[in-house]
Structure 1
Amino acid sequence: MISMALKDWVSANSNKLLGHTIVQKWGSDLPFLFKVLSVRKALSIQAHPDKDLAKVLHKFMPSAYKDDNHKPEMALAITHFQALCGFITLEVHIVLDNVPEIVQVVGSEVANQVFDTTNADGEDKVKSVMRLIFTQLMSATKEIVTTATTKLKNRLHMENQVRQLTEKEQLVLELERQYPDDVGVMSAFFLNYVKLNPGEALYLGANEPHAYMFGDCVECMATSDNVVRAGLTPKHRDVKTLCSMLTYKQGCPEILKGVALNSYVTRYLPPFDEFEVDRCHLSQGESVEFPAVQGPSIFVVTFGEGIIYTSNLTGDINITQGEVLFVPADTEISITSASELHIYRAGVNSMFFQVP
């Protein structure tokens, strides 16, 4: 048997495997990537560029940004899942009142501009102030950050003796333990702390800050490796690019609950053409069909075992936890569980095919 990478096989047979509509839109490569993440240590504070910025970054810094595509993504929780995502709606001066160490880092001049601004001044003004203070914080020297995070840690440990710390304060202490003296520890105060239950999903558009904190999820994204990092990481940081690219839009991110397709399958549709995700849970002995679609699909088995039958193959295929299957376009499949079975499917967003 000759082995071949999926990318090479798809490229050599793109019209047959991807479907003509997909090849016309995205070429001879899969338009999405699909993975399972198990987060035990916080991942970096980051954002993904839009298409225009991705082209610029790839042109001028190809060693750091290896392609020119955007990277919208979605995380679907398998277990309870925690993340930081987007800027809080709370007036920024309240954060400064409660976290004096941030004032120490950004300086009194910047802090005073924050204190003089309220949400009543309008969205553009609030965004401008958020940009100012976040950029000042993330650009601070290592020495200033180290001094401030040490003071923050010591203060919170002392206050924990006389009061219950907030969830965000508890998270910040955990981040400081994982990444001592990192500016990302303090920046967490400006970001929404999101907790997903199993079966809930979070999607992330271009130029929005986020970081995954803890838990297991399946993650789907457009085909790209463009990540701009600025905190909670030993990897390359590009603070200037990150702070300049963010939208500074405030508000809690939308949590997708999914739409039931039948008794076993729930579909999650983010506002991106490149992908959708189906979550399928079967009890032992149950069966479900996945109708043929115009694009390719990838299935990931996260729990249990079963049997899969496709319209393009003769015979059954046994599947078990940890296996990944590629299903070409226009292929109907059915699955029967041999035990409790959890399986996830990623494919091109079905709404894409409905556009006239």
Structure 2
Amino acid sequence: MGSQSPLSLQVAKALSIQAHPDKSLAAILHKQQPEVYKDDNHKPEMALALTEFEALCGFVGLEEIKTVLQNVPEISEVVGTASANQVLHLSKEAGEKKRKEVLQSLFTKLMSASKAVISDAVFKLISRLNIKSKVRGLTEKEELVLRLEKQYPGDVGVIASFLFNYVKLNSGEALYLGANEPHAYLHGECVECMATSDNVVRAGLTPKKLDVQTLCSILTYKQGFPEILHGVPSNPYTVKYLPPFDEFEVDQCILPQGASTVFPAIPGPSVFLVVKGRGTVRQAFSEELVGEGDVLFTPANAQISVRTTSGLSLYRAGISSRFFK
């Protein structure tokens, strides 16, 4: 059972298009390239928005991919007409396996194209969008592409972003990311919780080391908009977020001035992160004053009492309650 860790993350510039390998693949990659893949664990994660938070996550559905290919000719120029037509001529009745195979072929050709080919395609794309913007309003995705190109000129991630879901979270909404799912955090502040691992396979929107072949080979190629978690209230001040992982769950606790609450004893340990305000945290034999930026570890089977006179926002990460059932 891997441990979990929460952190507060502020994204001002897009973070890489990436995926995290599943546990069996992580072990293989660690054995083959220990200098790149530092451990043999998987890395499920969740981003819980503190502000409006933007991300790319997973592939859009088949019909939207067809629309993209019709409206973004630069993709067909990179992958070739035959590859694009494979998608365009795919019927709605095509099985899931066939849809995934065709998408994998298209995406792999796009991501594997030479830097020169991609740079030329991105230049044409941006020039076309700038002209279009003078005669019509651009779509949200087109506006995003222009923004990404300014951050990463000539990068394959700029053009590949058309194939991903553009997700906008409001404060208090969460996005979870399973193994082998493509994603990129774009902008905003969140509390991120993940299993303890540094395994990241990157393929775009980054100056860091790329492993395009591995990324394209491991993705699930599932299509459709990802699930957004809104959390379930535990009490008037606390909301629980329970992604489908054994590794962790997260509680968001926002105490107004003069309020207090109790976190019941649970079978596993917890990590608390204070995001805003000041207050006190009391365990069986100790009481501690906490403030913004503080992190506390609490052992299993410990009841935790929290109170504040000024207001306090904190987050608790612990092993998923599903694991103990």
Cα separation, 2, equivalents of 1:118 and 1:137: 22
Q: Is the 8 A contact 2:270 2:300 kept in 1?
A: yes
Residue 93 of structure 2 aligns to a residue in which SS? helix
Cα separation, 1, equivalents of 2:7 and 2:39: 19
Cα separation, 1, equivalents of 2:255 and 2:248: 23
Residue 314 of structure 2 aligns to a residue in which SS? strand
Residue 294 of structure 1 aligns to a residue in which SS? coil
What is the match of residue 97 of structure 2? 124
1:84-123 per-residue CA deviation (whole Å, 9 max, x = no partner) reads: 0001014222111100011111112212222221332222
Mean Cα deviation higher: 41-50 or 114-123: 114-123
Q: Does residue 235 in structure 1 map to residue 187 in structure 2?
A: no
Cα separation, 2, equivalents of 1:64 and 1:343: 34
- Provide structure 1 residue ranges, at least 5 long, that are not aligned to the other structure: 1-25
Instruction: Select which of 59, 69, 77 maps to 2:49.
Output: 77
1:119-175 per-residue CA deviation (whole Å, 9 max, x = no partner) reads: 322222111111011000000000000000001001101100111100000001100
What is the match of residue 21 of structure 2? 49
Q: Does residue 332 in structure 1 map to residue 303 in structure 2?
A: yes
Cα separation, 1, equivalents of 2:52 and 2:311: 20
Instruction: Select which of 181, 190, 199 maps to 2:172.
Output: 199
Cα separation, 2, equivalents of 1:200 and 1:46: 21
What is the match of residue 161 of structure 1? 134
Cα separation, 2, equivalents of 1:312 and 1:259: 30
Cα 1:90–1:117 change in 2 (3 A) is closer
Q: Does residue 136 in structure 1 map to residue 109 in structure 2?
A: yes
What is the match of residue 13 of structure 1? none
Cα separation, 2, equivalents of 1:93 and 1:291: 50
Cα separation, 1, equivalents of 2:218 and 2:224: 18
Q: Is the 8 A contact 2:13 2:151 kept in 1?
A: yes
Instruction: Select which of 256, 259, 268 maps to 2:229.
Output: 256
Cα separation, 2, equivalents of 1:32 and 1:112: 44
Instruction: Select which of 311, 315, 322 maps to 1:344.
Output: 315
TM-score normalised by structure 1 residue count:
0.89
What is the match of residue 16 of structure 1? none
Q: Is the 8 A contact 1:73 1:205 kept in 2?
A: yes
What is the match of residue 89 of structure 1? 61
1:248 CA drift (Å): 0.4
Amino acid of the structure 2 residue aligned with 1:45: I
What is the match of residue 68 of structure 1? 40
TM-score normalised by structure 2 residue count:
0.98
Q: Is the 8 A contact 1:312 1:331 kept in 2?
A: no
Cα separation, 1, equivalents of 2:258 and 2:273: 19
Q: Is the 8 A contact 1:46 1:242 kept in 2?
A: yes
What is the match of residue 219 of structure 1? 192
1:294 CA drift (Å): 1.2
What is the match of residue 74 of structure 2? 101
Q: Is the 8 A contact 1:118 1:126 kept in 2?
A: no
Amino acid of the structure 2 residue aligned with 1:69: N
- Provide structure 2 residue ranges, at least 5 long, that are not aligned to the other structure: none
Cα separation, 2, equivalents of 1:229 and 1:55: 17
Residue 261 of structure 1 aligns to a residue in which SS? strand
Cα separation, 2, equivalents of 1:283 and 1:90: 46
What is the match of residue 35 of structure 1? 7
Cα separation, 2, equivalents of 1:145 and 1:197: 33
Residue 119 of structure 1 aligns to a residue in which SS? coil
1:165-224 per-residue CA deviation (whole Å, 9 max, x = no partner) reads: 000000011000100000001110010001111111111111100000101001111111
Q: CA RMSD in A?
A: 1.0
Residue 120 of structure 1 aligns to a residue in which SS? coil
What is the match of residue 288 of structure 1? 261
Cα separation, 1, equivalents of 2:173 and 2:89: 38
Q: Is the 8 A contact 2:5 2:271 kept in 1?
A: no
What is the match of residue 266 of structure 1? 239
1:74 CA drift (Å): 0.6
What is the match of residue 310 of structure 1? 283
Residue 121 of structure 1 aligns to a residue in which SS? coil
Amino acid of the structure 2 residue aligned with 1:199: G
